[in-house]
Amino acid sequence: MKTVAESEHFVAKDQGDANVFVLLKDGSFFASLFFNGEMTTDTQVENMRAIVGALAHPDAKKNSYKAAYGAYSPLWELVKEDEPHTFKILYDDNWFLRVVIDQRLVVASQCRQLYCILDAVALHN
């Protein structure tokens, strides 16, 4: 696995499979991320860097999509899937990113982390 982004607590690694990345927090599994295959590898890596940055600095509101635009665009949506701990981020009703988050995290923490991820991809794209 190749490291594509890292901060003090988070590391994003390319799983070797197309469009699949794993996020580690302090060396332990945090989430698997599956990008829509229509994106280039470079775009996926840029998004992973934005995600790691957002997770590493969740209070950096000046760099957030909401701060830049006042609210999330209605084109971006976070959707809970039927599978446990699995979410999809949609852009204009098309799936952009699928996230399977660590089941050991409490729901409030999962939500906070997922909104950091949504904020990162919404601002970056």
- Residue ranges per structural domain of the chain: 2-124
What's the number of CA atoms in the CB half-sphere (13 Å) around residue 109? 8
Name the residue type at position 67. A
pLDDT class for 71, splitting at 50, 70, 90?
low
* Chain mean position to CA 86: 12
With 0.75 as the threshold, say if the pTM is over it. Answer: yes
- Counting every residue written for the chain, the total comes to 125
Q: What is the pLDDT of residue 58?
A: 72
Q: pLDDT tens digits for 43-67?
A: 999 999 999 988 888 776 555 656 5
Strands 28-35 and 10-14: unpaired
Is the confidence at residue 81, as pLDDT, over 80? yes
Average pLDDT, the chain: 85
Is the confidence at residue 28, as pLDDT, over 90? yes
Contact between residue 53 and residue 87 where contact means Cβ atoms under 8 Å apart:
no
Highest mean pLDDT: which of 15-19, 55-59, 88-92, 114-118?
Answer: 88-92
Residue 17 CA: distances (Å) to CA of 2, 22, 35: 11, 11, 11
Is the confidence at residue 72, as pLDDT, over 80? no
Q: How far apart are CA 82 and CA 97, in angstroms?
A: 16
Q: Which among 30, 48, 25, 13 is positioned nearest to 125, based on CA atoms? A: 48
